[in-house]
Chains A and B, each alone.
Chain A
Amino acid sequence: MTSKTILIGSPNSGKSLLFNRLTGLNQKVANFPGITVNISSGKSIADPDQLVMDFPGVYSLRAISAEETVSVDAFYAGIKDPEISSVVCVVDTTRLEKGLIFALQVINACAEHNKPVVIAANMIDVLNSHGMTMDIDGLATALKVPVVAISAKSGLGLDQLQELIANHRQSPEPFSSNVLPRDMIATDDSVVHRQAQQLAASFGPKGDLLINSQTRLDQFFLHSWFGGISFVLIMFLLFQSIFTWAAPIMDGVEAILQFAAGVVIPLLPAGAISDFVSDALFGGIGAFLVFVPQIFILTLVVGMLEDSGYLARAAVICHKPLRIFGLTGKSFIPMLSSVACAIPGIYAARTVDSPRKRWLTYLAIPLMPCSARLPVYSLLIAAFIPATGVFGGVVGWQGLAMVSIYLFGILCGLLVTALVSRSSAALQTDLPFVLEMPPYRLPSWKPLLRNAWDRSKHFVTKAGKVIFMVTVVIWVLGYFPNQGADLGESWLGYMGKLIEPAFAPFGLDWKYGVAILTSFLAREVFVGTLGTLFGIEGGEENVISLVTHIQNSGLPIGAGFALLVFFSIALQCVSTLAVLRRETGSWRLPAQLFISYSIFAYAAAWLTFIIVQSIAG
């Protein structure tokens, strides 16, 4: 019979790394407090009947933020579950007192619900490398629960831990030191704090453990000048990497697709089937696949920053500037995550402990330039901005254009929060800003690459399904009743012309109108739809890139810019709306955002068209 083990610990206690060690699953190991908001589980390598569940890191069982409440409630539900056979509490031995406060809370909670507890005293290797040690046996005797010295990093002590997970079935007693009456224990916080302090003083390591290099790095990265410059530089490199540096890989994918189309299509009988494969499959879905390398690189770079410990510093740097816009430094992580995808961004917003600031962060998130916008931006920029560069081609105009449109989205988000927060005095009050600075460390490449791969795969399979369905419907509507002879006379052509007046003010014809409408399912569908439409229209020689199609379609430059602006504002993402509904508990906010951002996007696009066209002549 399968039995389950709960893994719990404070943020940065090495809990996720231990989980990876025990299960072999490469769950993401993040280096920012509170980034794990979902419970991941995996079968133990040592005992496949044992399921290990990684609970989100919390500082205390006394929750003070929405995110902590979710995690703490989940923990209490877990220890009441009869299927849970043991609880492993991970404690960082380099910061023993803090870890013990939490461990004592866990022991007392488990005593109440008769669940066996094992304390995993992690990072014992760090103590050893500083020539220090601690009294593990003494601590175990005092706590009356098993304590195992482990190193999740090196694997030290894991056999013993697994042995205890499998066999230790004795529930703990509530912890009591002999000086205090028993009934004071679980309720009075200061008692627990004093107990932890005493235990750490008696059994913990003695001496200075903080690496001086961390202070020196902080002095650089948080310096008024160097800190600001390195922040701008790091963000700039992030955006350059996803455009300029991803280009060779994207060219490779496109070349492979063209080669595959060249091989497959001649093998098919001429007619509807061959047209479907070349227009809908290679034209529609292929156009979208080309952009997957960018999503991979973006996830990789953001993950690298997170793992290195830099993101927590970035939150410190951004705290003061973000306060001007009504936000807090803690809003930075959700907003940066939203650059990959709004969904993890919305979840990460739980770490913003002030409810009002969290609500304001939700307003900014849909305007952050998410990776679903990336295919649209890439396509339009490639079509309208020359592929030349400055500084010998290292910094390309297209990369600069990408940085600009990204900054535009971020600026819109900040502008909205600044305006809304000033509308009420209550929105300007904030909870105190307290953030742990994790040690700097070199990112571990394997989990990062795995995570970037998983995200890309998820993107392809999840978005791919929608794109496939939309593409098929669009292709059928566009191909019939006249077998692709004249797109304008097709069913889709008639429908498109009905909505054409809505998009005419910014110079778009009905094909773009149809593509915009379908993109309200998910933004990247825009690229697939256009690919299919141009594929049908292109007839025989359709295996040319979508960029060339757009350039040949005579779209005015103002319309290209208007489209960029429209996509950077409009909330075209069903998943974002659904997750916002779940997090806020009602449709109110998602509905308000959808309507207001649609109107905002339309107005801004129209204005952009007029301005750019008047400049372009």
Chain B
Amino acid sequence: MTLWDLKQGTSATVESFCAALQGDYRTRLSELGFHPGEQIACVLSPSLGAPKLYRVNNTVYSLDDSVASLITVA
């Protein structure tokens, strides 16, 4: 499943990035902590398709579907 599918209050481990995600963005996401093997928790999933809040290490980021749906987690 993708990071976007992750339910509020649950965690998963990053597996890979989809090919559609630009190289620059893969690097940046890795720098922010979203790299394969890292555990990510979805702390908030607002309704109406608004960007969701994810926690990695001790930081919270907001990601929208255009990026979160390109990260596969398990």
Contact surface of A with B, Cβ cutoff 8 Å: 59-60, 62, 64, 94-95, 97-98, 101-102, 189-190, 193, 208-210, 214-215, 218-219, 222-224, 227, 312, 315-317, 319-320, 329, 430-437
Q: Counting chain A CB atoms within 10 Å of each CB, which of B31, B46, B61 scores highest? A: B31
B58 touches A319 (CB 8 A): no
List, sorted by A's number, 29 A–B pairs whose CB atoms are closer than 8 Å: A59-B31, A60-B31, A62-B24, A64-B25, A64-B27, A95-B57, A98-B59, A189-B27, A189-B31, A193-B31, A215-B43, A218-B43, A218-B44, A218-B53, A316-B50, A319-B51, A319-B62, A320-B51, A329-B64, A430-B66, A432-B64, A432-B67, A433-B66, A433-B67, A434-B28, A434-B61, A436-B32, A437-B53, A437-B61
Least Cβ distance of A332 to chain B in Å?
12
CB-based nearest B residue for A223: B46
Instruction: Give complex CA distance A312, B46 in Å.
Output: 15
What CA separation (Å) do A219 and B49 show in the bound complex? 15
A210 — which chain B residues lie within 8 A by C-beta?
A: 55, 58, 60
Q: In the bound complex, do residue A218 and residue B28 qualify as a contact, i.e. CB atoms below 8 Å apart?
A: no
* B8–chain A nearest beta-carbon distance, Å: 9
CB distance from B67 to the nearest CB of A (A): 3
Q: Which residues of B contact A215 (CB under 8 A)?
A: 43-44, 60
B60 touches A95 (CB 8 A): no
The answer to whether B12 has its CB under 8 Å from any CB of chain A is no
Residue of B nearest to A94 (CB): B58
CB of A476 to closest CB in B, whole Å: 57
Q: Report the Cα distance A49→B49, complex, angstroms.
A: 54
Q: Which 10 A-B pairs have the closest CB atoms?
A: A432-B67, A433-B64, A437-B60, A224-B47, A209-B58, A64-B24, A435-B62, A316-B62, A60-B31, A222-B46
Partner of A434, one of B49, B57, B67: B67
Are A193 and B30 neighbours in the complex by a CB distance under 8 Å? Answer: yes
A461 to B63, CA, bound (A): 42
User: How far apart sit A125 and B16, CA to CA, in the bound complex (Å)?
Assistant: 36
Given contacts A208-B58, A218-B60, A320-B50, 12 further A-B contacts (CB under 8 A): A95-B57, A98-B31, A98-B32, A98-B59, A218-B44, A316-B51, A317-B50, A319-B51, A320-B51, A329-B62, A432-B22, A436-B59
A227 to B, closest residue via Cβ? B46
Evaluate whether A95 and B58 lie within 8 angstroms (CB atoms) in the complex, with A193-B30, A437-B53 already known.
yes
A222-B53, A224-B48, A329-B51 in contact; A190/B59 too (CB < 8 A)?
no
Inter-subunit contact A193/B67 (CB<8 Å): no
Contacts of B47 in A (CB 8 A): 224
Asked if B28 and A60 sit within 8 Å, CB to CB, the answer is yes
Query: Chain B's nearest CB lies how many Å from the CB of A323?
Result: 9
CB distance from B39 to the nearest CB of A (A): 12
Cα of A209 to Cα of B55 in the assembled complex, Å: 12
Q: Please report the C-alpha to C-alpha distance between residue A430 and residue B25 in the assembled complex, in whole angstroms.
A: 13
A563 to B32, CA, bound (A): 49
Q: How far is the CA of A329 from the CA of B64 in the complex (A)?
A: 10
A533 shortest CB reach to chain B, Å: 51
Nearest-neighbour CB distance to chain B for A420, whole angstroms, equals 21
Among A62, A97, A312, the one with the most B-chain Cβ atoms within 10 Å of its Cβ is A97
Asked if B29 lies at the interface with its beta carbon under 8 angstroms from chain A, I say yes
> Contact between A432 and B66 (Cβ–Cβ < 8 Å)?
yes
**Which of A64, A189, A433 is the one whose CB lies under 8 Å from B51?**
A433
The interface residues of chain B lying within 8 Å CB-to-CB of A224 are 46-48, 50
Quick one: closest B residue to A211, CB to CB?
A: B58
Query: Chain A residues with Cβ under 8 A from B44's Cβ?
Result: 215, 218-219, 222
The residues in B between 5 and 21 inclusive whose CB is less than 8 angstroms from any CB of A are 21
Closest-CB distance, A527 to chain B (whole angstroms): 41
Q: Which listed residue (A94, A320, A431, A437) contacts B48, Cβ 8 A?
A: A320
Complex Cα distance A312/B61, Å?
Answer: 10
Specify which chain A residues have a CB less than 8 angstroms from the CB of B31 in the assembled complex.
Answer: 59-60, 62, 98, 101-102, 189, 193
For residue A315, which residues in chain B have a CB less than 8 angstroms away from its CB? 62
- For A223, the chain B residues whose CB sits under 8 A away are 46
What are the residues of chain B within 8 A of A60 when measuring CB–CB? 27-28, 31
Contact (A434, B43) CB under 8 Å given A97-B57, A319-B64, A320-B48: no
Distance from B32 Cβ to chain A, minimum over Cβ atoms (Å): 6
For B37, give the chain A residue with the smallest CB separation: A197
Q: Is the CB of A434 within 8 A of B63?
A: yes
How distant is the Cα of A436 from the Cα of B53 in the complex, in angstroms? 9
Closest residue of chain B to A437 (Cβ to Cβ) is: B60
* CB-based contact B61/A97 at 8 Å: no
A312 to B51 alpha-carbon distance, docked (Å): 12
Bound-complex Cα distance A247 to B70 (A):
52
Least Cβ–Cβ distance between A118 and chain B, in angstroms = 22
Q: What residues of chain A lie closer than 8 Å to B48, measured between beta carbons? A: 224, 320
The residue of chain B having its C-beta at the shortest distance from the C-beta of A97 within the complex is: B57
Cβ-closest chain B residue relative to A105: B31
When the two chains form their complex, are residues B58 and A214 in contact, meaning their CB atoms are under 8 A apart?
A: no
Expressed in whole angstroms, the minimum distance between the Cβ of B14 and any Cβ of chain A is 12
Nearest-neighbour CB distance to chain A for B42, whole angstroms, equals 11
